[in-house]
Amino acid sequence: MRGLHLRPCLLVFVVWSAPAAVTLSGQTSGQRSPDDVVVVESSEAYYELPDSTLTDVIARLNRTRLAGAGGQMSQGLTEYHIQPSWQPAGAGGRCRVARLGLEVQVRITLPSWPAERFRPEAERASWRTIENAIRSHEYRHRDLTVEAARELARELEALETRGCRALEQVFAGAVALADARLQEAHSQLDRDTPARLSVGRKEGHWR
């Protein structure tokens, strides 16, 4: 679980999300609570929709690719990086994980529609429905990431092998497996999200 992973979420009249990532950082061992091992830093960023009507907003959202040109269609984006660190502790021929810490950084990008305040209440209500759906979906991706980090912390703190070289290999394998599980969890969330959700107008389809 290394590097930065993006989950571009094609939420609004078409939604999608992408993979995730992890790396390591340290503290004490001894089966501590995952809340003591995992430190979460979460932030929000916004991109503005310059359109004057909801119809134009929807059309723009359906063309948006937050992950960049050639990327998946997406109206929301969750970027996350799990950075672990640790030290091996050997005694009596055995080796265990010591000073484990996992730093989780999550940045969620959401749309903003400044002209909303000038539109009729019906359009404003539809926009709030759209915005809330995008936000809710992105925050579910954030929660999946944090829970995966806590589960990984529990698994890593329990590791013990004969010799520290073997522990390094087992540690790397546990991180890789956790990465694969997290990516599948994100993909499953996207599959479970309704493909379409109408917003009171024919062109208002989204997820």
76-84 and 22-24 strand pairing: parallel
pLDDT at 27: 32
Encoding tokens for residue 94? 């055995």
- Highest-confidence segment of 22-36, 61-75, 101-115: 101-115
Please state the φ and ψ torsions of residue 76, each to the nearest 5 degrees.
-130, 155
Domain extent for 164: 5-192
The verdict on residue 201 lying in a domain is: no
The verdict on residue 203 lying in a domain is: no
Q: Using pLDDT thresholds of 50, 70 and 90, give the confidence band for residue 66.
A: confident
Partner residues linked to 39 by β-bridges: 103
Specify the amino acid at residue 144: L
The verdict on residue 202 lying in a domain is: no
The verdict on residue 57 lying in a domain is: yes
Distances from the Cα of 66 to the Cαs of 44, 69, 108, in angstroms? 14, 8, 11
The verdict on residue 61 lying in a domain is: yes
The verdict on residue 197 lying in a domain is: no
| pLDDT of 136 higher than 50 | yes
The verdict on residue 39 lying in a domain is: yes
Encoding tokens for residue 10? 């094609």
pLDDT, mean over the chain:
79
| Number of compact structural domains in the chain | 1
Do 81 and 25 touch, CB atoms closer than 8 A?
A: no
Specify the amino acid at residue 57: V
Q: In the chain, pLDDT over 90 holds for what percent of residues?
A: 60
| pLDDT of 16 higher than 50 | no
| pLDDT of 196 higher than 50 | no
Q: What is the pTM of this model?
A: 0.77
H/E segment holding residue 152:
helix 121-157
Please state the φ and ψ torsions of residue 15, each to the nearest 5 degrees.
-130, 145
- Closest C-alpha to 18, from 54, 82, 66: 66
The verdict on residue 21 lying in a domain is: yes
